[in-house]
Chains A and B, each alone.
Chain A
Amino acid sequence: MKKVFAVTLGILTAIGGFVDIGDIVANAAVGARYKWALAWVVVVGVIGIVLFAEMAGRVAAVSGRAVFDLIRERLGPRFALANLIGSFFVNLMTLTAEIAGVALALELATDVNYLLWLPVCAFAVWLVIWRVKFETMEDVFGIVGLAMIVVAVTVWRAGPDWGSMFHEASHPSLNSGEGLPTYFYYAIALFGAAMTPYEVFFFSSGAVEEHWTRADLFVNRANVYIGFPLGGLLSLALMSAAALTLAPLDITVEHLGQVALPTTLTLGKLGLATLLIGFFAATFGAALETALSAGYTIAQYFGWQWGKFVRPREAARFHTVVLATIVVAAIIGLSSVDPIKVTEYSLIFSAVALPLTYIPILVVANDPGYMGTKVNSRFSNALGSVYLVIILVAALAAIPLMLATKAGA
């Protein structure tokens, strides 16, 4: 019975924790502009994250080591350092966007300017990391994040023509005046949102934090195979809500309030309140994960003690890095850069960094020295190879497309 509870909790947490500010902004923006013409990217992205998260979780459960931990051992300090610098930069951008996202959610709820909320949010993120137990942190924000399901309810209540919805999704076409380069630019941003690098590094380190062993492989698979796809449905719900409500009105997503508009129109104040709770939990949870990831990757590269599973004084450098990263992210956020723009850029740079993240996972998950008999199956390797090509294409095309389309203008 306890096992069933653990599995259910894991799945619910995975669903509620799947969506972050990048997914919220990207799916709504794409839905408003392209309706369902890019829905296929979400499907491709979810399959990708499911594939690699399963590998990352399996690596941690079987070897007792987080994936990034093994990158330096397997691929050498030079490659790992390049990886670290790239990942840290993307992580920092993502953290800035997430903390700003929390502040924006609070601004929508209270009408107090988000810049005033920002330092409070940054401090709160740090405090939760400092004091709250890892599992509690994950469970609380994961479960509360389920409030985002209200977006699915919004779509349901809007009473769409499901048939034409599926038709549009499976036969993507562009409106007149829309160019292919911009279409693919948004495809890459959406893909980056689904497969953001910090997700797998965090998932893997988190598995070590929670002391997973081989016995937890089943839980790992349940979380990943059931939880993540359902989380992906939430992304599609965000896209659909925007497609049904914002697109006909020619509204483009430039503020978080516009993302909330469909729910406000369809479900009123109660719907909006629920959605804001969901936004808050999703972005706060993601901020926690991104800040911890900054600490994990740096500490694991140098071999320092890391983790919340020891007293803070026993992982002094790790906690200093986490604190410093949050402070820097807050400072960047306070410079009043447009948080929506920061979010979009973080997605594009995530896409560029994807090969650095995923090639090592593929190598490590195949190493019998760490994995014993639990190396990748031929199916995982075949699918992984296909995704490697997709990831490389996305990474190479990201910056050129960004420049060519002036960041999707």
Chain B
Amino acid sequence: MAARIIDAALELLDRQLIDRDDKLAGNVDDVEITLPENWPANESDELPVVTALLSGPGVLAERLGGRLGRGWAEFHRRIHPGTAGLGAIPVAQVREIGSAIRLAVARDQLPSDRMEDWFRRHVIAKIPGAGHAPE
């Protein structure tokens, strides 16, 4: 059985991420690829590997490019020092690649949930009825 072929820009990029509980968890804004060590000097047949899906406004800004995009990405890096701003989802947490990308984890485990959480705590939770079931 031939290995599945995936054209990354067509089938991974900009796809909806859905978490373990069928909740929406952002879009795939970029994909992290790890090159073989010492590439291209390395003479082996080793191929690069997809190591993570990236999701987050800083990532998207960088991808959109242009001065505005890069400026936003820089701003985002400053308020989220370290790798948290990258919103990296290791490939190991991906369960299924289809018309959407299904993850094996709950979305509150994802770094990209921080913004949602901020709004949840500082805006929405302050309004009565926020926990009201949709009936």
Q: Which residues in B have their C-beta under 8 angstroms from that of A311?
A: 130-134
> In whole Å, how far is A298's beta carbon from the nearest beta carbon of chain B?
12
Bound form: Cα–Cα A197–B99 in Å: 25
Bound form: Cα–Cα A304–B24 in Å: 6
Question: Given A73-B16, A316-B119, does the pair A133, B134 have CB atoms closer than 8 Å?
Answer: yes
Contact B116 A312 (CB under 8 A): no
Q: Which residues in A have their C-beta under 8 angstroms from that of B135?
A: 133
User: Which of A303, A308, A316 makes the CB contact (< 8 A) with B124?
Assistant: A316
Q: Which residues in B have their C-beta under 8 angstroms from that of A302?
A: 26-27, 57, 60
Bound form: Cα–Cα A78–B119 in Å: 26
Interface residue count for B (Cβ, 8 Å)? Answer: 32
Contact B116 A303 (CB under 8 A): no
Say whether A170 faces chain B, with CB atoms less than 8 Å apart. no
Question: Given A303-B27, A305-B116, A319-B124, does the pair A81, B64 have CB atoms closer than 8 Å?
Answer: yes
Say whether A314 faces chain B, with CB atoms less than 8 Å apart. yes
Bound form: Cα–Cα A306–B24 in Å: 8
Question: Given A77-B64, A130-B129, A302-B27, does the pair A310, B134 have CB atoms closer than 8 Å?
Answer: yes
Question: Given A78-B64, A130-B127, A316-B124, does the pair A73, B24 have CB atoms closer than 8 Å?
Answer: no
Bound form: Cα–Cα A369–B99 in Å: 8
Q: Which residues in B have their C-beta under 8 angstroms from that of A134?
A: 134
* Contacting residues of chain B (88-106) with chain A, CB-CB under 8 angstroms: 99
Bound form: Cα–Cα A305–B24 in Å: 5
Bound form: Cα–Cα A78–B13 in Å: 13
> In whole Å, how far is B75's beta carbon from the nearest beta carbon of chain A?
17
Bound form: Cα–Cα A5–B133 in Å: 26
> In whole Å, how far is A288's beta carbon from the nearest beta carbon of chain B?
16
* Contacting residues of chain B (101-135) with chain A, CB-CB under 8 angstroms: 115-117, 119-120, 123-125, 127, 129-135
Contact with A along B19-48 (1 / 0, CB 8 A): 000011111010000000000000000000
Contact A317 B115 (CB under 8 A): yes
Say whether B54 faces chain A, with CB atoms less than 8 Å apart. no
Q: Which residues in B have their C-beta under 8 angstroms from that of A303?
A: 16-17, 24-27, 55
Bound form: Cα–Cα A370–B100 in Å: 10
Bound form: Cα–Cα A176–B44 in Å: 83
The chain B residue with its CB closest to the CB of A321 is: B119
Say whether A63 faces chain B, with CB atoms less than 8 Å apart. yes
> In whole Å, how far is A203's beta carbon from the nearest beta carbon of chain B?
20
Bound form: Cα–Cα A121–B116 in Å: 28
Question: Given A131-B132, A311-B130, does the pair A320, B124 have CB atoms closer than 8 Å?
Answer: yes
Say whether A378 faces chain B, with CB atoms less than 8 Å apart. no
Say whether B63 faces chain A, with CB atoms less than 8 Å apart. yes
Q: Which residues in B have their C-beta under 8 angstroms from that of A163?
A: none
B residues apposed to A, CB below 8 Å: 14-17, 23-27, 29, 55, 57, 60, 63-64, 99, 115-117, 119-120, 123-125, 127, 129-135
- Listed A/B pairs (24) with beta-carbon separation below 8 Å: A63-B99, A72-B14, A76-B14, A77-B60, A130-B129, A131-B129, A302-B27, A302-B57, A303-B27, A304-B26, A305-B23, A309-B134, A310-B23, A310-B134, A311-B131, A313-B125, A313-B131, A316-B117, A316-B120, A317-B116, A320-B123, A320-B124, A323-B123, A369-B99
